[in-house]
A and B are shown apart, each in its own frame.
Chain A
Amino acid sequence: MLADLWAAYQSSVGFAMVNVFFALSTYAVLSAGVLSFASVSYAAFGGFIGAQLVLNTGISPLLALPVSAVAGALLAYAVALLFLRLDGHWMALASLALVLMTRVVVLNAPTLTGGVNGLSLPVDLSLATLTVLLLLLMLVFHRLSGSWYGIAVRAVREDPAVAASLGMPARRLQTIAFVISGAVGGAGGMLLAAMLQFISPDTYFINIAFTMIAAVVLGGSYHWAGAVAGAFVFTALPVVMQAVLPQIQDVANGAALLAIMVFLPRGLIDPRAWRLRHAR
């Protein structure tokens, strides 16, 4: 019985884990005060480059993963140089435009991407491997948030002017955040490719942007664990609703998301609320 359940849902667990990569990619820049959708583009870049590497050299997807991460990081660095000069809302819009452009580029670069036909990638990615990778990723974010970088980006996010007058170079810190976001997004793109075993221009599109923003909003954007929790909840909710309330699953799904947003506006994981309670 439990085994059946696991068989039915393990692909959802796998997708939830990959979504954690996308959510953390978004969290990486959001934690430095920048809303950006560009993680989708890093994922596409990392995904197609990693897939080509695997297809052309026959190396394992795990070995292609660092290359995807570097590719994503490089793209993110370029995005940071170009877009960080823009003010908040414009930055978000520009990153959205980048996502739209990415699809056009992917469609029109068939040698790299396979164009409309996409690429099939006959590889196997076990859930165990994915779990180990996810734990590693969480360790990275845990260590970052505990370092001076963690405090500095929080300061920049809360009040950039005050942060600057404490000697914090906001632009440089945000550029680092972009590079981290790019590496995580690029790796996530490769993992998604390996999970799906097929990628096309539609793989890396608005649906991912929606997933990652929803995950961070739901889970909370003030702690990396929020992105992790949010990605799991957001991925699991439709599956659970389909099992529990199949007649009204869409409505129930929407209602549950709304309820979280209304009653927990800072997300499921909110260190500030915890500390406020702790203070009493």
Chain B
Amino acid sequence: MRGDGDTPALLELDGVGKSFGGVAAVADLSFAVPTGSVMGLMGPNGAGKTTVINLITGLLGFDRGHIRFDGAEIGGAAAHRIAARGIARTYQNVRLFSGMTALEQVLAGGFLRRGTSLIASFLGTPASRAARARSLAEARHLLDRVRLAHRADVLAETLSYGEQRRIEIARALGAHPRLLLLDEPTAGMNAAESAAIGGLVHELRDAGLTVLMVEHNVRLVTDFCDHVAVMSFGRKLTEGTPAACLAHPEVQAAYFGRSGDAERIRALR
């Protein structure tokens, strides 16, 4: 199966730490995401999962440790440089651009693959027009992939929450990343929508993409993740197969506590 120890890691965190005003949001965190796998990142609210994604993508100032992507150190690099290396992401709270249509959002996501200079595209050279047509076709294809082709010309902010989340995924895919970071991609979605996201994630993995996703939906994690790391209070609690992680007593206590999810897990088996 995927995610075995002998697969080379695409992303490696090594002793990563981040504090906000003296409070450690992430502490001494190490894990690796094997190339071509889907890795789940779990943990209760405030455990530091989003902070991890922000550190990987350069959205937060970097404090301590090492983050290696495809062998190269990216910890503390500028966000746009990290993106150019092939890392794309979505946000826990959808962050689409106000005033842009669905298609424009995805076109913006294709910035790194624009394939033409400003001067050429300003002058409208044949090559730049061809590049433009390619970008448009690609953006439409990506919208189609998240089943929103019919919404292409609608202002994205008027779409439903689930649709906006899917646009964000399409936008992230616009740059043809090698690593996709999804921060709670199914939050606020119903079961059918969630399953569709899971299916999409599997398709993407089969096409060679590596995925790291923060996900609370136990069913989705069990069905779609090859490997899981669980965080609690900024630290890694445990790591392993979805089943092993969910069965871990500390996970049951720390993560599921009194929430009743423990029963749901048992019911799943």
With A149-B118, A159-B95 as known contacts, state yes or no: A279 contacts B158, CB within 8 Å. Answer: yes
Cα distance, A55 to B104, chains bound together (Å)? 49
The answer, among A147, A152, A166, for a CB contact under 8 Å with B83, is A166
Interface size class, chain B: 35 or more
Question: Hey, which chain B residues are within 8 Å of A110, CB to CB?
Answer: none
B107 surroundings in chain A (CB, below 8 A):
148, 151
Closest residue of B by beta carbon distance from A280 = B158
B109 touches A166 (CB 8 A): yes
Chain A residues, CB < 8 A from B122: 140, 143-144, 147, 149
- Chain B residues lying within 8 Å of A89, measured Cβ to Cβ, are none
A:224-280 near B, CB below 8 Å: 271-272, 275-276, 279
Partner of A147, one of B58, B109, B112, B118: B118
Check A62 for interface membership: any CB of B closer than 8 A.
no
CA separation between A77 and B175, bound complex, in Å? 29
CB distance from B113 to the nearest CB of A (A): 9
**Is B9 an interface position by the 8 A CB rule?**
no
Q: Which of A117-125, A128-136, A167-175, A192-200 contacts its partner?
A: A167-175
A271 (CB) vs chain B CBs: closest residue? B99
Main secondary structure of the interface of A (DSSP, over half): helix
CA distance A279 to B104 in the complex (A): 15
* Chain A residues with CB under 8 A of B82: 165
- Asked if B79 and A165 make an inter-chain contact with CB atoms under 8 angstroms apart, the answer reads yes
Beta-carbon contact of B111 and A161 below 8 Å: no
Q: Is there an interface contact between B83 and A165, defined as CB atoms closer than 8 Å?
A: yes
- Residue of B at shortest CB range from A270? B99
Residues on A with C-beta less than 8 A from B205 are none
**A222 on the interface (CB 8 Å rule)?**
yes
On whether the beta carbons of B97 and A162 are closer than 8 Å, the reply is yes
Within the complex, the shortest CB–CB distance from A171 to chain B, in Å, comes to 9
Q: Is the CB of A151 within 8 A of B99?
A: no
A164-B58 in contact (CB<8A): yes
Nearest B residue to A162 via CB reads: B95
Say yes or no for B220: interface residue by CB 8 A criterion.
no
CB contact under 8 A between A272 and B155, given known A143-B122, A159-B97, A162-B97: yes
Is B80 within 8 A of A169, CB to CB? Answer: yes
Q: Which of B88, B111, B112, B122 has the most CB of A within 10 A?
A: B111
Do B116 and A148 touch (CB < 8 A)? yes
CA distance A124 to B59 in the complex (A): 54
For residue A148, which residues in chain B have a CB less than 8 angstroms away from its CB? 107, 111, 114, 116, 118, 121, 132, 135
In the bound complex, residues from chain A placing their C-beta under 8 Å from that of B104 are 151, 154
A76 at interface by CB-CB < 8 Å: no
A158 beta carbon closer than 8 Å to chain B: yes
8 closest residue pairs by CB, A with B: A164-B79, A167-B83, A167-B112, A147-B121, A272-B99, A158-B97, A148-B114, A164-B80
**What are 30 residue pairs bridging A and B, where the CB atoms are less than 8 Å apart in the complex?**
A147-B132, A148-B111, A148-B114, A148-B116, A148-B118, A148-B135, A149-B118, A152-B108, A154-B104, A154-B108, A155-B108, A158-B99, A158-B100, A164-B80, A165-B80, A165-B82, A166-B80, A166-B174, A166-B175, A167-B84, A167-B112, A167-B175, A168-B108, A168-B111, A170-B80, A176-B118, A272-B98, A276-B155, A279-B155, A279-B158
Q: A140-B122, A148-B132 are in contact. List 16 more A-B contacts (CB 8 A).
A: A147-B118, A148-B114, A148-B116, A148-B118, A148-B135, A149-B118, A154-B97, A155-B100, A158-B97, A158-B98, A165-B83, A166-B108, A167-B83, A275-B99, A279-B154, A279-B158
- By a beta-carbon cutoff of 8 Å, the part of chain B in contact with chain A is 57-59, 78-80, 82-84, 88-89, 91, 95, 97-101, 104, 107-109, 111-112, 114, 116, 118, 121-122, 124, 132, 135, 154-155, 158, 171, 174-175
